Structure 1
Amino acid sequence: MKSTHAVFAAAASAAISVGLAVSLSPGVASDTRPTALEALGAQLFVDPDLSWNRTQSCATCHDPDRGFIDPRDNAAGGAVSLGDDGLSLGSRNTPTVTYATFTPPFHKGANGDYFGGQFRDGRASDLEEQAGQPLLNPVEMGMPDEAHVVARLKGKAETAAAFRATFGDDIFEDEKRSFAALEKALAAFERGLAVSPFDSKYDRSLRGEYKMTDQEELGRVLFFSNQFTNCHLCHKSSATGGSASETFTNSSFNNIGVPANPALATAEDHGLGARESALGGGHDGQFRTPGLRNVAITGPYMHNGVFKDLRTVILFYDKYNSKSVRRQVNPETGRPWDASDIPADIARKELEFGPGLDDRRIDALVAFLKTLTDRRYEQLLDK
């Protein structure tokens, strides 16, 4: 028993060393602790031995100190991630892991539209299904198969002991069961308070612990407005919105006309539309609406990382409604906004909504979105 406790203590220590310690919010019991399964998941999350060349862990592309995104500036300007081989680049921007646990399983809604699922195209139903895929992806962690992953697990005495303590002495007798246990542990960590603490200024304001500035409050009102913006149509998880558990997405899929990223040497990305044979037509260029918690520190933005600044994203949406010539220019390039390379199914009904926004309202929306930043990341704002 003593050795088992030592294993879990080591896992917790490894987690803390990379900034994964639970940040308890006011009102959360002080004796809340990560479970043994979460601690094992935290240990696995930072283990580079789970990649073929032993150079990359989950935390490499989901850095806990940077909002669980990939902060590396590679040949694509940070838009996508560099693989374990030091050469391969992904085709999509790496999303944050924070609050991913609240994304529902991939499903078809009553209105015929699709919702949920992990990855930007929803192809993994839940966190368990998602967790193992990067390990076996040749342009990510590059492991050739599940057997090689399990061999790495068994080859480390501490890790193997933790698996046996958590899942039973016979856990390594079946490779598929072993790999599923790894996925379960990683998912347990990603469901923990360390990843989704709900302790931003927005959350604290709901508890009466923080007073929004006038600019932040204006942004909040605009965000949830039915008159000035359409943000809430997709970036609100409940009918009422504004609750303590709000993740700022309804997990729907939409084509919003994002232009191609010239820094990526990839073919057209059809998103959900690439699964047309199974899902039927009408989904070309659609990607799942991301949650907005920590959005101010998790750029670059869009599925292809084409925009670097959060204000640019809001201006991109505003171009659909503003009649101003100035609003038809991408401030990051100084040129007119590039057209989408997947124009067929753009959600114009949702995008072409109402009046354009002046600079004061644009800035207010940015200010409000910054209040969605977890407490531990607030020092990263405006850096």
Structure 2
Amino acid sequence: MDRKFFVFAGAAVLAATSALLPMARGAAPDVSRDDAALVALGADLFVDTDLSMNRTQACASCHMPDFAFTDPRATGDLGNTVSLGDDGASIGTRNAPTAAYAAFAPAFHETAEGKFVGGQFLDGRAATLADQAGGPPLNPVEMAMPDEAAVVARLREKADYVTRFEAIFGADILDDPARGYRAMTEAIAAFERTPEFSPFDSKYDRYLRGEVKLTDQEELGRVLFFSQQFTNCNLCHQLNAQAGTPEETFSNYEFHNIGVPANPALEAAHGKAIADHGLADNPAVEDKAAALGRFKVPSLRNVAVTGPYMHNGVFKDLRTVVLFYNKYNSKAPRRQIDPETGEAWGAPEVADNLSLKELETGPALDDKRVDALVAFMRTLTDARYESLMPPP
């Protein structure tokens, strides 16, 4: 969950699983523990609404397992652009990123070249998955608990929790609110590192294993996507150096400003203009001016079923997103029109720091290639969510 994104309550309890994915870079827990017990505890904590002030909201409220770990529920006229907080009234300014495959983001850091990479949330302000898990319970407009001690007190209400926490972390773990709270976040992070969140079983993965063939349109999209000449997709949406490498997450986890326009509906709901500062909101970043408007490149895993798109949910359709990128390369007047509004693309929400080098790489795309890219991205949908995809 993002601190500026708020949610409805309710989700079905998940079955715990003991098989862990490889640890995300820099996200390993502090000490070695019984992985199966830790994951099972995390699975229960992930769906526990008692960890919010009004006992209505859990991690799974915002990251529903049956909906690719996003929130499909509508908030008035905004649809599922944003959702409600535990108080039933608060709305934010960011669309919730999926929690699927989040474990593969490296810990937030600055590279030798001066680029910021990784972390959790759209601005990377949580360095690791466990850090992220600790944010929403204490956010006054999300789960709204006043402090770590209040959350740990809720944990101590359940004798089963006490027994399990002590067995995994030590007899006095819940006596210290700070340690108890950290233990809770590590358990949730352990659960989020399981194949429940990252199965790598999409049609694309099955294609790599030789189990299925792509259609001609999907194959054209695959070739275009990984092309060094005809598109700019892989400049940001490819993690592994070699195309076709298994367990590709389709993000390099860098931060870019691609000139996303403001969402008028969201601004109307807030009664004011919104200019989300993105990476500049990350307290670890000192040069706020250079970070303004930059957001972490999202994974494209399950992208066909996790709309609306962009940090503010301004685009409803995946094809619109491809056309938006195409506007930077096309001189054709019709390519400068947002198909969802019938008007010219809106001005960037934040006009500073546009990644024009990346955005203007490659030629303009015709409809055949736009549709092929969309078709390929649909193949990145986990098997369990293929039924959620809208008709092509």
Per the normalisation by structure 1, the TM-score is: 0.90
Give per-residue Cα distances to partners, 1:256-294, cap 9 Å, x unaligned: 000011122263111112348943132210000001111
Aligned length: 361
Residue deviations 1:90-126, cap 9 Å, x none? 2211000011111011111121111111000000100
Corresponding position of 2:276: 269
The 1:297–1:351 alpha-carbon spacing in structure 2 relative to 1, beyond 3 Å, is: same
Opposite residue 315 of structure 2, the aligned amino acid is F
- Structure 2 partner of 1:204: 206
Q: Work out whether residues 257 and 342 of structure 1, in 8 Å CA contact, stay in contact via their aligned partners in 2.
A: yes
Separation of aligned partners in 2, 1:241 and 1:172:
46
Residue 373 in 1 paired to residue 381 in 2? yes
Residue type at the aligned position of 1:109 = T
- Matched AA of 1:160: V
Does 2:318 align with 1:318?
no
Residues 1:294 and 2:302 aligned together = yes
Question: How far apart in 1 are the matches of 2:379 and 2:294?
Answer: 28
State how 1:106-255 maps to structure 2 within 5 Å. Answer: 106-255=108-257
**Separation in 2 of the partners of 1:130 and 1:198?**
23
Contact 2:108 2:125 (C-alpha < 8 Å) held by counterparts: yes
Superposed CA offset, 1:285-337 (max 9, x none): 00000011111111111111111111110010001111221111111111110
Mean Cα deviation higher: 162-171 or 360-369: 162-171
**How far off its partner does 1:162 sit?**
2.0
1:21–1:211 Cα change, 3 Å: farther
Of the candidates 314, 320, 324, which is equivalent to residue 306 of structure 1? 314
Letter in 2 for 1:287: F
Residues 367-376 or 262-271, more deviating: 262-271
* One-letter code aligned to 2:200: F
Letter of the structure 2 residue corresponding to residue 120 of structure 1: L
Equivalents in 2 of 1:362, 1:22: separation in Å? 41
CA displacement at 1:23 relative to structure 2: 10
Cα distance between partner residues in 1 of 2:371 and 2:284 = 42
Give the drift of 1:195.
0.6
Query: Is it true that 1:15 corresponds to 2:33 in the alignment?
Result: no
Seen in structure 2, the aligned counterparts of structure 1 residues 48 and 58 have a Cα distance that, compared at 3 Å, is: same
8 Å Cα contact 2:18-2:40 kept in structure 1: no
**Counterpart residue type for residue 58 of structure 1:** C
Separation in 1, partners of 2:13, 2:58: 13
The unaligned stretches of length 5 or more in structure 2 are 1-11, 21-33
Aligned-partner SS, 2:14: helix
Identify the match of residue 286 of structure 2 among 279, 283, 289. 279
* Cα gap change, 1:216 to 1:54, in 2 (>3 Å): same
Check the 8 A contact 2:217/2:372 in 1, yes or no. Answer: yes
1:245 CA drift (Å): 1.6
Quote how far apart the aligned CAs of 1:159 are.
2.1
d(CA) in 2 for partners of 1:55, 1:14:
14
Aligned: 1:85 with 2:92: no
Q: Which amino acid aligns with 2:14?
A: A
Which residue, out of 364, 380, 384, partners 1:356?
Answer: 364
How much has 1:63 moved relative to structure 2?
0.5
Q: Shift of residue 81 of structure 1?
A: 2.4
Could you list the per-position Cα deviations for residues 333-358 of structure 1 after superposition, in whole angstroms to 9, with x for gaps in the alignment? 11110010211211111111232111
In the aligned structure 2, how far is the partner of 1:22 from the partner of 1:319?
Answer: 46
Query: What is the distance in 2 between the residues matched to 1:277 and 1:369?
Result: 33
Q: Aligned-residue CA RMSD in angstroms? A: 2.0
Say which is worse superposed, 233-242 or 269-278, in terms of deviation: 269-278
> Contact 1:90–1:140 at 8 Å: present in 2 too?
no
Partner SS for 1:279: coil
Distance (Å, rounded) in 1 between the aligned partners of 2:247 and 2:382: 13
How far 1:34 sits from its partner (Å)? 7.4
Q: 2 CA distance for matches of 1:278 and 1:200? A: 36
Q: Work out whether 1:344 is the aligned partner of 2:344.
A: no
Equivalent-residue separation in structure 2 for 1:178 and 1:307 (angstroms):
40
CA distance in 2 between counterparts of 1:46 and 1:236 reads 32
Corresponding residue number in structure 2 for 1:28: none
Do the aligned residues in 2 keep the contact of 1:117 with 1:123 (CA within 8 Å)? yes
Deviating 4+ runs (over 6 angstroms): 20-24
What TM-score do the two structures reach when normalised by structure 2? 0.88
Task: Look up the SS of the partner of 1:49 in the other structure.
Answer: helix
| CA–CA distance in structure 2, aligned partners of residues 117 and 59 of structure 1 | 20
